[in-house]
Amino acid sequence: MWIKKTNKEIQEYKEPFLNWLNRHTIVLYLLAIPLVTILLFFIDIIYGEDDKPGMMPKVSLPMSITEALQKIPFHLIELTVIFSIGYIVFSLIFKADKNENHATFVCDKCNKLISTSDKVQCECGGEFIPINKMKWINDDENQEV
């Protein structure tokens, strides 16, 4: 027989890494931007910029520290845009509960299974609930409780 999971069971069912990532996304976001900016600063100092634009083989000239420091605001803007787009894509892909639309649903009264959520109520008067929010209990275990 199918019964509803508690909120605690639903949270435990989710993947632990995605739970951790959902809670710490903004912290990782705020740490990544300055760290990548520092990395780009050192790359600018060591490798510099190409002296000739175009398709010809390029010779890179190392930058001075002052030139590299002048590029930091541009790196911050670029990284903020890139990480913001990544954050939005992450939110849409991983945080959305995609299984709600194409999941199996269970009637909470008669345990009937359906594959779409077109119906809100079962013929028996029960409500269809996504199967990932339900758990199976054998009738023997249910009678002992």
pLDDT band at 64 (very low <50, low <70, confident <90, very high): confident
Q: 134: how many CB neighbours lie within 10 A of its CB? A: 20
Burial of residue 114 (CB within 10 Å: 0-12, 13-18, 19+) is middle
Per-domain residue ranges of the chain: 2-96, 100-144
Q: Which amino acid is residue 95, in one-letter code?
A: K
Rounded percentage of the chain residues whose pLDDT exceeds 90: 5
The whole-number pLDDT of residue 9 equals 75
* pLDDT band of 55, cuts 50, 70, 90: low
Q: What is the pLDDT of residue 99?
A: 46
* Residue 81 pLDDT: 92
